[in-house]
């Protein structure tokens, strides 16, 4: 391996993105990507250069400028990544995407877009915890990964949702989280013409205005309050009727009332992955209605769920596709919980929140790039697993039944290191010594604390 580029195998994997960079920037991109994959601990540019043997390079500043000044489009890269993921994991059928926000805990006077938000991990119903940092809104493809035998959340588009204080300082109108959600979901619908797109989200996106704007373009599945105002569709206008037409029909019983009523008809279904269980039997009932709020309304299919065992509280969900099967709605929504797993594994294995960029453009690019790297590792590992079998590493005191992201990352890292070691064997059969630089880099990873 030359000191200016990464292994040839990585160059082949990254070829779909080659057209978005100049030749000079492309060499630096390969170094940064390879360094981010191989480096333990923090994912700073300096750490990536050290593990690539460029800790003493005089032109180290050019690698920082890839993120802070480079002329390449993150949205175009996200589009290409989505097409690759869909072709690999969802070649046909509906495309299920999850949308969720996360807080990147960052401090510093140079980080202008940071704000103070509710920490969703440490907070509970009776305990409110604040967190200072950047709020990111991430879109993930929720698709079954064949070699992992389960659904993974694969990020492809991540945008920064700045705080209200930052918008006021910039003299701009503050965009709410639902505004960002509408924008990115409509972008996905444009990127996948002819495919049925189903977006699953938590209660933060259960807003009538958002659902009404998205309903003509894609299907949205989210939670619904038990006390939501549900009505019949408005009756047809009668001939020679005076005055305005009715916007809603008769008020329907609330979901809380249906839950208490003995006249409610329940159907029992089996759902995989319900709150961590392999299979759980649930009682459901469903119907269609207009979800109404003064001045706003949207047509939905509601699904009311109760747990026969009594372990979980009754819940309600909605879908903007009135013809969707209630059991399918629950199966789509269950996939959404994989987004939290992706955020946690990206923090633990890819160093999200450890980067140290300070310029605005570098901040906008680094976190989305690390989350996208999660999807690239899953994509590359799927190709390697198809050739060599699924990766699965376990020890006697912890036996894993299914591969996880750490196994996928280990498989990709092994391929990258092997690509640098294999050229040391001559085709003539004459043994060659391993380069000293490569040994020093391996010792750096083994000895340096994370």
Pairing of strands 197-200, 95-104: parallel
Q: Which domains does the chain have, with CATH numbers?
A: 8-72+391-447 (no CATH), 74-236+246-343 (3.90.350.10)
Query: What pLDDT score does 441 carry?
Result: 81
For the CA atoms of the chain, what is the radius of gyration?
25
Query: What pLDDT score does 354 carry?
Result: 92
Query: What pLDDT score does 426 carry?
Result: 54
Query: What pLDDT score does 2 carry?
Result: 42
Query: What pLDDT score does 152 carry?
Result: 96
Record the tokens describing residue 150, joined without a space: 């389960």
Over the chain (450 residues), the average pLDDT of each successive run of 10 is 62 94 93 93 91 86 93 95 98 96 86 82 77 93 93 97 88 92 97 97 95 97 96 86 83 95 94 85 96 92 94 95 96 95 95 90 95 97 85 72 89 88 58 72 75
Query: What pLDDT score does 422 carry?
Result: 63
DSSP designation for 312: S
Helices 360-388 and 405-421: crossing angle, nearest 10°? 80
Other Cβ atoms closer than 10 A to 7: 21
Distances from the Cα of 53 to the Cαs of 5, 34, 38, in angstroms?
A: 11, 11, 12
Environment class of 143 (CB within 10 Å of its CB; exposed 0-12, middle 13-18, buried 19+): buried
Query: What pLDDT score does 160 carry?
Result: 95
Record the tokens describing residue 131, joined without a space: 């967190």
Q: Rounded to an integer, what distance in angstroms lies between the CA atom of residue 66 and that of residue 58?
A: 16
DSSP designation for 268: E
Pairing of strands 315-319, 296-306: antiparallel
Query: What pLDDT score does 430 carry?
Result: 59
Phi, psi of 384 (to 5 degrees): -70, -40
Other Cβ atoms closer than 10 A to 263: 6
């Amino acid at each position: 391996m030359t000191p200016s580029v990464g292994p040839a195998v990585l160059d082949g994997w990254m070829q779909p993105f080659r057209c978005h960079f100049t030749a000079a920037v492309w060499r630096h991109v390969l170094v940064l990507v390879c360094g981010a994959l191989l480096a333990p601990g923090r994912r700073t540019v300096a750490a990536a250069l050290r593990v690539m043997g460029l800790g003493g390079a005089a032109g180290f500043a050019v690698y920082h400028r890839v993120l802070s000044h480079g002329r390449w489009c993150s949205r175009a890269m996200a589009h290409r990544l989505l097409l690759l993921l869909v072709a690999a994991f969802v070649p046909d059928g509906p495309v299920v995407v999850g949308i969720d926000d996360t807080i990147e805990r960052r401090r510093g006077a140079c980080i202008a877009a940071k704000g103070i938000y509710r920490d969703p991990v440490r907070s509970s119903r009776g305990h409110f915890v604040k967190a200072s940092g950047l709020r990111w809104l991430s879109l993930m493809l929720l698709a079954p990964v064949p070699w992992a035998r389960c659904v993974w959340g694969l990020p492809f588009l991540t945008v920064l949702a700045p705080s209200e204080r930052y918008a006021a300082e910039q003299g701009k109108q503050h965009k709410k989280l639902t505004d960002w959600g509408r924008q990115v979901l409509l972008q996905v619908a444009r990127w996948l013409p002819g495919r049925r797109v189903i977006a699953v989200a938590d209660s933060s996106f259960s807003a009538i205005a958002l659902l009404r704007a998205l309903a003509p373009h894609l299907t949205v599945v989210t939670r619904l309050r038990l006390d939501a105002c549900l009505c019949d569709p408005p009756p047809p206008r009668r001939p020679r009727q005076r005055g305005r037409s009715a916007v809603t029909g008769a008020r329907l019983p609330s979901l809380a009332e249906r839950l208490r009523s003995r006249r409610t008809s329940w159907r029992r279904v089996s759902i995989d992955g319900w709150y961590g269980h392999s299979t759980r039997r649930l009682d459901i009932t469903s119907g269609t209605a207009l979800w109404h709020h003064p001045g706003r309304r949207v047509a939905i299919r509601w699904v009311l769920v109760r747990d026969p065992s009594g372990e979980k509280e009754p819940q309600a969900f909605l879908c903007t596709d009135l013809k969707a099967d209630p059991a399918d709605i629950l199966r789509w929504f269950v996939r959404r919980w994989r987004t939290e797993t992706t955020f946690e594994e990206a923090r633990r294995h890819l160093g999200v929140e450890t980067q140290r960029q300070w310029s605005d453009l570098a901040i906008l690019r680094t976190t989305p790039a690390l989350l996208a790297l999660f999807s690239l590792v899953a994509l590359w590992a799927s190709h390697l697993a198809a050739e060599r079998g699924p990766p699965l590493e376990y020890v006697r005191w912890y036996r894993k039944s299914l591969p996880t992201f750490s196994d996928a990352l280990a498989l990709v890292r092994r391929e990258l290191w092997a690509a640098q070691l294999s050229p040391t064997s001559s085709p003539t059969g004459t043994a060659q010594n391993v380069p000293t630089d490569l040994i020093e880099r391996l010792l750096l990873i083994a000895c340096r604390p994370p």
